[in-house]
Structure 1
Amino acid sequence: MAESEDMTSMGEDVDVAYETNEEDPTNRNEAASWIRKRAGVVAAKDLPAEPSEEAFRLGLQSGMILCNILNKIKPCAVPNVVKAPSAVTTTPDEEAQSAYYENISNFLTAIEEIGLPTFDLYDLDEGGDFSRVVNSILALRAYSETGARKFLWNSKASSIGRSFVRRNSESALNTISRTHSLSSDRLLDMTSQSGDGNDCNEESDSGHLYMIVCDLLEDREEEDIPMIVENIVNKVNEEFETLQEEARKQDEAAKEQERINKEKDLLALQEEARRQEEAAKEQERLRREKDEKETAERIKREQEEKEKAERIKREKEEKEKARKLERERIKQEKKLKAQEEKMRKKEEARARKDQERIQRQKELQALRERAKQEKLSAKELERLNIEKELLEEEERLRQQEEEQERIEREIEQQRAMKKEEYKRRMEEYNKYNVNTEKRQELTAQQDKELQELRSTISAAKTDVRSMQQNCQEEADNLGTHAHTICHAAAGYNKVLEENRKLYNQVQDLKGNIRVYCRIRPFLPGQENNVTSVDYTDEETVAIIIPTKSGREGRKASMFNKVFGPSATQEEVFSDTQPLIRTVLDGFNVCIFACGQTGAGKTYTLTGPDDLKPDTMGVSYRALNDLFNISEERKNLMNYEISINMVEIYNDEIRDLLVEDGTSKILDIVNGSKKGINLPDANRIPVSSTDDVINLMNLCRKNRAMNDHSSRSHSFLTVHVFGKDVTLGTTIRGCMHLVDLAGNEKLDNPDDEATHIQKSISALGDVLVALANKSSRVPYKTCKLTQLLQEALGNQPKILMFVHVHPDIEEAGETLSTFKFVERFSTVEGGAGKSSDVRELKEQICYLKAALAKKEAGDPHWQDLLNSPSGDSEDKSDESAPSKLKSSTTKQPAKSSNSLMKKMAASAAAATRLTRTKK
């Protein structure tokens, strides 16, 4: 028992004292990173990746994270983990604080049992030694990575120093010498098994060491014990020196690493300071540029305001001058009117005198005639009185004769009545005096006739019942037949609706956005002008572009359809007719006419001022077609067609269907249930082409009163409302016919030109977005696109007429128009074409034009391949056609025909490829 107590005291004398250095933030970050990794981001949500000491302390204060991690490393190490609210987001109350202490106590007990360094409860409070907490977490990490048997805790790896301290070593040796002896081999085995001295205290407590020593000294001689103890001490000293050397090296490496980290931090701070200085300089430069820009804009704005003020002043002076002239004119007119009034009064007085004189003459003549008539009438009256008396006497004699005749007729009638009465009485007497046999026969005959009459009545009743039954059966058959007819009618309506949808799908497959090109012919007297159109076919137009260098550039574009100078209005409308008819099926159609001023936009849409059946434009023909179709379908659908017409000038909308000449500005109201976004505009029902012509004449008159109408966008909107006669369903369709203002560029653009360019550019952006099926369409940019939002936003059918001015001097404006439509015309089926396909189409255009010139015998056909592209002037690089030509000019001249055939074949193949993609 004494030996056991001595061994215990020896085990207690040899212990491990932890000398903890000041906490390193790197260790804290490593510990936090390991905890987040083991516990998971959700469980360690209150613990940042690189926490401060305070944040780390608050995150671990509840003990839940530490207990859960220990249970993952060593299952059931802490069997009961108390749930408690987070200390980060709430202030712990007394109950929560008690739960925190219980979790921390359970955790410390568990790691103490497996031989890991521990800490005190107050180390997690403010002012505690938090480095001990970090040390315990790092030791737990090492334990989880190496396992229980291979675990070696080296505090230097975490910048925490350790040293062994021996207390009362001599007494310990004396105590050991009194125990059993050990062999040196057994002692060496014990030393190798126990490992480093530093880790011994981590592997087991002093009691465990006591058991090992007892086991080693068992059955040893007493004289061998001092030598064994000396060997143990030597081994311990050697291991201790080795550990000290390793710790020193690790300290040096840590210091070197710390120095490198500090240098890196210093370099990073210097780099950050340099970047901040550069950013400050850049910000200063931007501020100066902004100030300069604002100054320039302010100067420009002041200049514009000054010019505007001068312009307003000039306009006021001109208006004042015009008012003065108008007042002079009105004064002269009043003077002339006064003179005319005076002359008129004189003429009226003279006329009245003449009239009075003539009237007096007429009255005198009338009196003379009346006297003459009175003289004649007295003689005539006497003669008439005599004749009247004679006639009255004759009438009296005639009445007496008639009265005598009436009396004679009454006497004759009385005689006849007496004769008839006598005859009737004689017949009755003879009738009652006939024999009895005849009377019986007569009675039998009457009975027989009565029975026949009864049988006839019974047969008639049977026939009536049969007739009623037949009528009921026929009524039932008629009801069944009517039900069948109603079912067939419903199926017919369904098939009709499907046919409408299929027709619309066919139009969609042809392209929701179609671009047609129409070339205006030369007007009378301009036949000798040089044309800019170099080549045309059904889908291609190539124009000549004069450049500043004197060379002739060329630009080729492809369209859905090309109408040459000789195309008639009927030919142009025939291609648009299927698209227009979809309006009656409830779809929206937008037809635009774009191009420079004088290119023929208005002629295409409306026609000339002197309308004839063959010169009517698309607008009249479209409405006439709608009237005809609605008349054909009147047994199926009731259509109501109405129109309104407005113009947009300087982004302001004005109504053109006004009779008083006023120009009220209209507001757009989108989202209406009836699809009408201009509720204040005059919308007039129409039923014939004559009604439309009269309204268009009114619009033309109102536009003629406005000087700006030639530079405005005009809208003719056709509203169609249809109601099914059978089912009562309704449909709404809308068609916009838009005559866009001329988009030519001006050297000194004013507000008018700026608004035109802005609105046309905005329309191009909207069409590009629709073609690409973009989720965001910029309708709000200007009034032009806002007015079209309802029509373009619901399965629109869009047709753009591009008009080409034939004069060579207008080629630049034509090129600008081509560039505008190319933005959305190169999109088919809702997907944008790549630039390669566009370049391939341009090459096809050039090859077609060159081949046509070659076959026509034009010696300058190669110039088409050599000419630069029209969209760039004086380019140093060759265009695609010129590159193709440069590669072909090296061939012998005699092979030019085969070359052109190959080029044509390539063009045809490319055309088939693009059509296949469609």
Structure 2
Amino acid sequence: MAFWTACLGKIRRDHAIEGEAQKLLQHRKVVQQSTHSALAKLLSEVQVLKQDLREVFAVYVNFATELENQSRLLLEQVSQTSYTLQGHHGNDVQILKAQMEALEHTLQEEKERSKTERERRKILHNTLVELRGNIRVHCRVRPVLPFDVGQGSTLALGPSTTEEVVQAVNDDTVVVNCARMGNPGLNKMFEFERVHGPEDSQDAVFEEVKPLLTSLLDGYNVCIMAYGQTGSGKTHTMIGSQTEDPTGPPREAQQGIIPKATTELFRLIAEKPPDSHLVEVSVVEVYNNEVLDLLAKDEDGVCIGDKRDVITTSTGTSEVPSLSYVLVRSAADVMQLISSVLRLRARCPTLVHRDSSRSHLIVTLTVSSKSPNALALARRLQSVKKDMQRKAQKEWWSPRCHRANPMARQSGDEHSISSSSSPYHSPSLSPCPSPRASISQASFRTKLQLVDLAGSECVGMSGVTGAALWETSCINRSLSALSDVLGALAEQRPHVPYRNSKLTHLLQDAIGGDAKLLVMLCVSPTQRYFTESLQSLGFGMRARQVQKYIPRRKNTALKLK
């Protein structure tokens, strides 16, 4: 019994195992079928990709074939065109080349001719300017202005202080009606190189000044100063009418000589070879007979008016040690500097003018140029030769010649101080030539000095009191010293009193040297300023009496041993 029970159990286990095996076989069949279907799908997709690749390859082959054919055709066309040009148009090409060479040759000839003409123009220009003399005087009569009708005039003896008694009758004559002095019909006439009436614009005034700037780059020192009473239009003539901001630049239409001269200077420099000229600016004022450097700065970089001294160097020229120089690249840089320091200039309201300048403003543009050309050196050598001949014929003495004056020779070493603030500074040529001269290739320097003088006036008319009395006294004394210097030059005195005033000492080279000086007289037309107008016109006449020596070109590239 137990045996059959065991057999039955075994048979059941065998049936269970067989059932599990059948299930496993069925599962495998299902897996194989799904795998076969996936493989079949992948195979169909691969076949589709192969077909696409065959189509793309066929397109590529067609494109490459077409590109090769087009390239071959293009090369054939280029070869045919080249052959045609070489075979049929060779003569035209040669003709064009010949014409181009002829044009280049003509251009070179024109350049040489233009260079020659420029040199000829330079000689003619300076000859014309020299014929006018080294000191010339222009006069400008301003129009009647609202402040001409003012109070405090104790000198107006005529029936109306606004009556015009000073008139510009033509381009070179000013007539002053002196009927107020009890001589009816008596008129005084003053003649100058050029007279500008009230209707003349700023441009018309500058046109008469412009030729001097050409001479500046040709190697001459140039000085332009405005002289006249308070309120006669000096600052308007030199700087121009100010904008609403009194320290701002003037309007372009009303710009004066200083902005117009700087613009013209840089325009002329732009026509020269690049980097052949460097321009430095210094701005000083002479206030109460003291020289103030307006470009000097404190530790914070703010411009202050530091005092400076004026010395005479061993070469007989005036110099300001430690003077501040600023290198500028354009006229805008110059006017920006001037506008920034105008606020430092001494001003004071008076009965004559509400914003009267109480100091002399001097703007100096120093131009450093490369070595001059052979023509300039030849002219300088000729000048030295003539000086040597005159000295050989007759011994002469000059207070500025240190070899002729033993006392000056002893003290020359004490004053041989030069400014170290400027990297381009070099001493000027000595007025006493040496028997031997040598030429070096160092750069040479010329100066353009633009001066707005303080106005002369009577204390009674200006109404100043207190400290302003000392200002007026210093102004009048410095202007008197300027008049004395011109008088000494006109009379050819052996001693010229340059050192009587810091103003004349500072402008010594511009007044008595070989510089070209232009004095712009500014006068008021009304009877109220009759006395001051006569004084200004008389100053201009004394300036015209200075003997007109032919100025010599300044050239520090010619060193004297």
The TM-score range, normalised by the shorter chain, is: 0.5 to 0.7
Which residue among 269, 274, 278 is the counterpart of 1:630?
A: 269
Matched residue SS, 2:138 = strand
Corresponding residue for residue 741 of structure 1: 454
After TM superposition, give the deviation of residue 501 of structure 1 in Å.
4.7
1:382-438 Cα deviation digits (max 9, x unpaired): xxxxxxxxxxxxxxx9xxx99xx9xxx9xxxxxxxxxxxxxxxxxxxxxxxxxxxxx
Q: Is the 8 A contact 1:606 1:617 kept in 2?
A: yes
Corresponding residue for residue 825 of structure 1: 544
Q: Take 2:489 and 2:316, find their aligned partners in 1: how far apart are those partners?
A: 23
Alignment of 1:44-123 (within 5 A): none
Q: Return the letter of the residue paired with 2:361.
A: S
After TM superposition, give the deviation of residue 631 of structure 1 in Å.
0.4
2:195 maps to 1:562: yes
Which one has a larger percent helix, Structure 1 or Structure 2?
Answer: 1
1:7-35 Cα deviation digits (max 9, x unpaired): xxxxxxxxxxxxxxxxxxxxxxxxxxxxx
Change (3 A) 1:664 1:810: same
Change (3 A) 1:642 1:711: same
Corresponding residue for residue 434 of structure 2: none
Q: Is the 8 A contact 1:544 1:808 kept in 2?
A: no
Alignment of 1:380-391 (within 5 A): none
After TM superposition, give the deviation of residue 548 of structure 1 in Å.
5.8
Q: Take 1:723 and 1:827, find their aligned partners in 2: how far apart are those partners?
A: 33
Corresponding residue for residue 511 of structure 1: 133
Q: Take 2:148 and 2:471, find their aligned partners in 1: how far apart are those partners?
A: 30
Q: Take 1:771 and 1:525, find their aligned partners in 2: how far apart are those partners?
A: 37
Q: Take 1:705 and 1:768, find their aligned partners in 2: how far apart are those partners?
A: 30
Q: Take 1:805 and 1:705, find their aligned partners in 2: how far apart are those partners?
A: 20
Change (3 A) 1:497 1:770: farther
Q: Which has the higher contact order (CA 8 A, sep 6+)?
A: 2
1:843-876 Cα deviation digits (max 9, x unpaired): xxxxxxxxxxxxxxxxxxxxxxxxxxxxxxxxxx
Q: Is the 8 A contact 1:518 1:563 kept in 2?
A: yes
Aligned-residue Cα RMSD (Å) equals: 4.1
Corresponding residue for residue 668 of structure 1: 310
Which residue among 135, 139, 142 is the counterpart of 1:520?
A: 142
Which residue among 632, 639, 643 is the counterpart of 2:281?
A: 643
Q: Is the 8 A contact 2:285 2:361 kept in 1?
A: yes
Corresponding residue for residue 226 of structure 2: 593
Q: Is the 8 A contact 1:585 1:733 kept in 2?
A: no
2:446 maps to 1:730: no
Q: Take 1:542 and 1:826, find their aligned partners in 2: how far apart are those partners?
A: 19
Q: Take 1:673 and 1:493, find their aligned partners in 2: how far apart are those partners?
A: 35
Alignment of 1:356-367 (within 5 A): none
Change (3 A) 1:701 1:507: same
How many residues were matched structurally? 356
Q: Take 2:528 and 2:312, find their aligned partners in 1: how far apart are those partners?
A: 43
> How many percent of aligned residue pairs carry the same amino acid?
33
Matched residue SS, 2:187 = strand
1:630-663 Cα deviation digits (max 9, x unpaired): 001125x711112111100111011222452532
Q: Take 1:706 and 1:562, find their aligned partners in 2: how far apart are those partners?
A: 30
Runs of 5+ in structure 2 lacking a partner? 1-37, 51-107, 150-159, 244-249, 350-354, 375-440, 551-561
Q: Is the 8 A contact 1:670 1:790 kept in 2?
A: no
Change (3 A) 1:509 1:549: closer
Corresponding residue for residue 362 of structure 2: 715
Q: Return the letter of the residue paired with 1:516.
A: H
Which residue among 478, 486, 490 is the counterpart of 1:767?
A: 486
Q: Return the letter of the residue paired with 1:740.
A: L
Which residue among 673, 677, 680 is the counterpart of 2:319?
A: 677
2:311 maps to 1:689: no
2:199 maps to 1:542: no
After TM superposition, give the deviation of residue 785 of structure 1 in Å.
1.3
1:793-822 Cα deviation digits (max 9, x unpaired): 441111111111122111111011112222
Corresponding residue for residue 605 of structure 1: 238
1:125-168 Cα deviation digits (max 9, x unpaired): xxxxxxxxxxxxxxxxxxxxxxxxxxxxxxxxxxxxxxxxxxxx
Change (3 A) 1:535 1:793: closer
Change (3 A) 1:629 1:672: farther
Q: Is the 8 A contact 2:294 2:306 kept in 1?
A: no
Q: Is the 8 A contact 1:533 1:543 kept in 2?
A: yes
> TM-score, normalising length from structure 2?
0.56
Q: Is the 8 A contact 1:590 1:735 kept in 2?
A: yes
Corresponding residue for residue 471 of structure 2: 752
Q: Take 1:730 and 1:501, find their aligned partners in 2: how far apart are those partners?
A: 21
Change (3 A) 1:584 1:542: same
Q: Is the 8 A contact 2:227 2:452 kept in 1?
A: yes
1:335-391 Cα deviation digits (max 9, x unpaired): xxxxxxxxxxxxxxxxxxxxxxxxxxxxxxxxxxxxxxxxxxxxxxxxxxxxxxxxx
Alignment of 1:239-638 (within 5 A): 500-524=122-146, 529-534=162-167, 536-545=169-178, 547=180, 549=182, 553-610=186-243, 611-634=250-273, 638=276
After TM superposition, give the deviation of residue 740 of structure 1 in Å.
1.1
Q: Take 1:829 and 1:653, find their aligned partners in 2: how far apart are those partners?
A: 30
> TM-score, normalising length from structure 1?
0.35
Corresponding residue for residue 789 of structure 1: 508
Rg comparison, structure with higher value: 1
After TM superposition, give the deviation of residue 823 of structure 1 in Å.
1.5
Q: Is the 8 A contact 2:148 2:526 kept in 1?
A: no
Change (3 A) 1:696 1:738: same
Corresponding residue for residue 293 of structure 2: 655
After TM superposition, give the deviation of residue 526 of structure 1 in Å.
6.3
Corresponding residue for residue 813 of structure 1: 532
